[in-house]
Structure 1
Amino acid sequence: MKKVLIVLLFTIVVGTVSAQEGGKQKLENAKIGLITNRLNLTVEQSQEFWPVYNEFDGKKKEIRKQMRKLIAETNTLTTPDEKILSNIRETLNLQQKEVDLEREYMNKFLKVINVRQLAELYKAEQMFTQMLLHRLNKKATPERSN
């Protein structure tokens, strides 16, 4: 019963905050809601989990931002071959850095949540990404009325 009240309260707070904030914050709130729901976190777990997750997520976003920048630099017609090769190598290094980050935080997560919750975290992140892609595709290709 306690968990149900916490989830209900969280949903109300997220809904209220979402109505007041921009799209990016709405996405973050939706992601938090999905992960919280899927992992079925206790109050104690939640208090320990979210600071670790937010730190992890921030580092992961920074790595991906760097990769996007390198890819954008590589996709120009005037980029010299040496620079393209250098960017490809650096992108591979960043991908390895992301894998290393995943391993590091797997151990940190396991100090807070159990292995089943960790597996569910990975599924929830994939599910959220798929939901976003589905919504983006739906907006990009509106249904035609006959």
Structure 2
Amino acid sequence: MKHLLLVLLLLTGSLGRVMAQNDIQKIESQKIGYITNRLNLTTEQAPQFWAIYNDYNGKKKELNRKVRQLTGENSRQGMVANDAAVLSNLKELNGAKQKLGDLDDEYMPRFLKVISPTQLQELYKAERNFNRMLLEKLNSNQD
């Protein structure tokens, strides 16, 4: 009986991970469609653009993860840590935010070899709009 319960728990956990992975893939597919349409990418532009964007987006996700981590540490340490530790953390947070700006500067010429400046500006808008829509949908599902 214990083995059956253990197997059921393992299967339930695995199913949850598979469902979460499917949700992530669905969101990524929607994002690709949304950005492709907003930028009005041609069939020639799309493969080159997505190769650059995927590299850029992977680095951007890592930096955003670092910012969220540091922001969480700052709020937790504020009550316990000394001023020097908090200041060090804040400097590290500012450095991570600066790296996000540097990443945009680094990738701008790469994007501009494939898409127009207007399309690049639209990319930044499309990312913000997609993320906002996603958050609104998640918030409405929690109500």
TM-score, normalization by structure 1: 0.77
Query: Residue 137 of structure 1: CA displacement?
Result: 2.1
Aligned partners of 1:45 and 1:113 also within 8 Å = yes
Compare 74-83 and 27-36 and name the one that shifted more: 74-83
Q: How many residues align?
A: 123
For 1:43, what is the secondary structure of its paired residue? coil
2:129 corresponds to 1:130: no
**Counterpart position of 2:72:** 72
Match of 2:108 in 1: 106
How far has the Cα of 1:79 moved from its partner? 2.9
1:18-59 C-alpha deviation (Å, 9 max, x unpaired)? x9x521111111111100111111111011100100000001
Q: Deviations over 1:84-137 (max 9, x none)?
A: 111111111111110011111111100000112112111111110110121122
1:1-146 to 2 correspondences below 5 Å: 22-76=22-76, 77-140=79-142, 142=143
SS at match of 2:44: helix
What code does the residue aligned with 1:83 have? A
Q: Counterpart amino acid of 1:81?
A: D
Q: Which runs of 5+ in 2 are unaligned?
A: 1-18
AA paired with 1:47? P
CA distance in 2, matches of 1:26, 1:78: 41
Please report the RMSD computed on the Cα atoms of aligned residues, expressed in angstroms.
1.8
Q: Which moved more, 1:30-39 or 1:68-77?
A: 68-77
- Bigger relative contact order, structure 1 or 2 (CA pairs below 8 A, ≥6 apart): 2
Percent identical pairs in the alignment equals 48
* Larger Rg belongs to: 2
> Structure 1 segments of 4 or more deviating over 6 A?
none
Kept after mapping to 2: 8 A contact 1:63/1:98: yes
Contact 1:39 1:120 in 2 (8 A): yes
